[in-house]
Structures are given as C-alpha cells and as structure tokens.
C-alpha cells in the first residue's frame, strides 16, 4: 500500500466537512463502486453487448422478409430489462437517500487517524484499515471497503468542504492512507492486464459488428439500385441502410476508442484487428460473386465461374 500507511504520519488539522447527500451523489457513488469491481464491469459490458446484439437483430429482422416471425416481444422485453438495469443505481440511491434524510445534515472530519461522521442522531468513527482504496469523480470522493465485493462505501462530496484548498488537502490525506483506484490500473498490474484483455476482445468484437453492419448497408444500397439483387432483403430501405451505416461507423469508432484507452497489449490487439480485417476481406472475396443470389433457393456455378440463382 502507499507509504502513507506508516504510523509515523505527521498529524495535521483535520479536513472539516458539512453536507447532506443528494440522490445524484449517491447514484454517482454507486456507479463508481460498480466500475471498480469486476462484477460491476462485467455487468456493464454485458448490458452494452446485449443492447448491441438486440439492435442488430431488430434491424436485420426489419430488413428481412419474415416480419411475422420477428420476435418483437423478445426485443421489447430485452429493452425493458436493459432500461431497468441501467436505472438500478438510481433506484438504490433513492432508497439510500430516504435513510440519509432521517439522519439530517452530516458533519465530518478526516485526518490521518480516520474518519469521524456526526449527525443529529448518531456519530461514528472509522479507522483507515476498514478501507483499501478510493475513487475520485468530478464531484465526489468514494471510499471503498477492503472486502472483495466492496459492499460498503463512504461518500465524501467535494462541495462539503470550504474551498478548493481543502479539497486538495482531503485528496492528500486519502492518497497517504488509501490506494487510488487509478493506481491499480497502472501498466503491469494484474488488473490492468485483465482490463486490457477485455478491451481487446471488445474492440475486435466491435470491429466485427461494424463490418457486418457495413455489409448490410452495402446490400441495402445495392438492392435499391438493382431490385433483382439481394431478394431476401425486401425491406432494406434507404433509411434502414443509413441507420446501419451509422451504427457500423459507431462500432468501428468504439473499437478504436477501446484500443486508444489500452495501456497494455495494444500491439496484440492491433494485430488481431488486422487479422480480422484480412479474414473479412478473404471471406468477402470468396462469397462476393454469390451475393446477388441472396435469398435464392439454390446457387449453381457455371463452367466459366459465374454463379446462377434458382428459385423453386
């Protein structure tokens, strides 16, 4: 841990705080806690990919010919589930806020010996050994407990101190006594390598998704110019192709953003991305001559190498 855990730390005037937590601050603290745990990051990634797959599935169902078989109820259920999961931090914050409102205003003092919080109905002192790290957001300091699941946390709003200098003093105390979450992401640490692997997989997946969406946008434009092409995409209209093109661009931009954020394994991810592009190009070169038979019952190859479509 940091050298501030030494018992010989120089005593100084405590940082005084006075505040009443808001719903927004509690929700922000819950989101910060989720980002600092493996389970929270996995849940967020799962939600992102669920949204992406659902959107692509809905677009492909709209573009296809089998509208009666489209599972719109499933898509609606997924949308409701994702919206609920995204609102969970806010719902939890509302519940915590009702409990905090019963305590009234909070007065606190933070120094190298610990944290002391006092309300109209209670008072508590906490030693630093209860906490292992902290997260800083633009508005808050969030102290996280040392257990693996990070069940407990303490919210210290920056607005609770008198001025900017006191915010810097509070940050200095936390740096001496706790590990900043960002420090755990330094290159070479196990957590940074794990996140690098996750971002690498995510960037390659987004790249594949972008290529798929680009293909369907191309099919829509080609089918509009040549109505006999891609007969299986009866509803692939110009607005649909524009939406797919925009989503494909967002997917590729998201892949690039993930790679830019990587502090480790960036070269490996770039190499994988190149391999994905080469594999996609090879597959397109192989199946490209057959794309005009999209939706046909049978495809036959003539002696001259051309493909003929048959519908029964």
Reference 232, options 103, 61, 100, 78; nearest CA is 61
Strand 179-180 vs strand 131-136: parallel, antiparallel, or unpaired?
parallel
> pLDDT tens-digit profile of 64-114?
555 555 677 777 888 888 888 888 889 999 999 998 888 889 999 999 999
The whole-angstrom separation of Cα 179 and Cα 176 is 8
> pLDDT tens-digit profile of 294-306?
566 677 777 776 7
The whole-angstrom separation of Cα 35 and Cα 23 is 18
φ, ψ (nearest 5 deg) of residue 46 = -65, -40
pLDDT of residue 52: 74
> pLDDT tens-digit profile of 182-192?
654 444 555 55
- Beta bridge partners, 116, equal 109, 125
**How would residue 44 be classed by pLDDT, with cut points 50, 70 and 90?**
confident
Is the C-alpha dihedral spanning 244, 246, 251, 255 positive or negative?
positive
114 CB-contact burial (10 Å; exposed 0-12 / middle 13-18 / buried 19+) = middle
φ, ψ (nearest 5 deg) of residue 77 = -65, -40
The Cα angle at residue 293 between residues 290 and 297, in degrees rounded to 5: 120
Does pLDDT of 248 surpass 90? no
φ, ψ (nearest 5 deg) of residue 141 = -115, 125
pLDDT of residue 205: 75
Reference 137, options 45, 16, 15, 24; nearest CA is 24
The DSSP letter of residue 11 is P
pTM of model > 0.75: no
């Amino acid at each position: 841990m940091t050298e501030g855990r030494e018992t010989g730390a120089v005593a100084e005037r405590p940082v005084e705080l006075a505040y009443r937590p808001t719903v927004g601050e509690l929700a922000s603290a819950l989101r910060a806690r989720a980002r600092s745990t493996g389970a929270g990051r996995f849940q967020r990634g799962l939600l992102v990919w669920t949204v992406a797959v659902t959107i692509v599935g809905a677009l492909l169902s709209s573009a296809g010919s089998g509208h009666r078989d489209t599972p719109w109820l499933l898509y609606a259920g997924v949308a409701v589930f994702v919206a609920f999961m995204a609102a969970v931090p806010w719902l939890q914050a509302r519940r915590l806020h009702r409990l905090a409102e019963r305590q009234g205003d909070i007065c606190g003092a933070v120094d190298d010996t610990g944290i002391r919080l006092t309300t109209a109905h209670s008072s508590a002192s906490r030693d630093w050994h209860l906490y292992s790290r902290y997260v800083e957001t633009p508005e808050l300091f969030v102290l996280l407990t040392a257990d693996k699941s990070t069940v407990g946390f303490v919210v210290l709003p920056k607005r609770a101190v008198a001025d900017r200098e006191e915010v810097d003093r509070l940050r200095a105390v936390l740096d001496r006594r706790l590990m900043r979450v960002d420090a755990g992401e330094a290159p070479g640490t196990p957590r940074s390598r794990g996140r690098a692997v996750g971002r690498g997989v995510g960037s390659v997946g987004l790249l594949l998704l972008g290529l798929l969406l680009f293909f369907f946008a191309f099919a829509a434009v080609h089918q509009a110019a040549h109505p006999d092409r891609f007969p299986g995409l009866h509803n692939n209209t110009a607005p649909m192709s524009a939406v797919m093109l925009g989503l494909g661009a967002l997917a590729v931009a998201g892949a690039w953003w993930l790679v830019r954020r990587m502090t480790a394994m960036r070269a490996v991810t770039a190499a994988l991305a190149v391999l994905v592009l080469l594999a996609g190009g090879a597959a397109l070169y192989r199946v490209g001559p057959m794309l005009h038979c999209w939706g046909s019952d049978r495809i036959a190859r003539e002696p001259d190498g051309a493909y003929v479509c048959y519908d029964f």
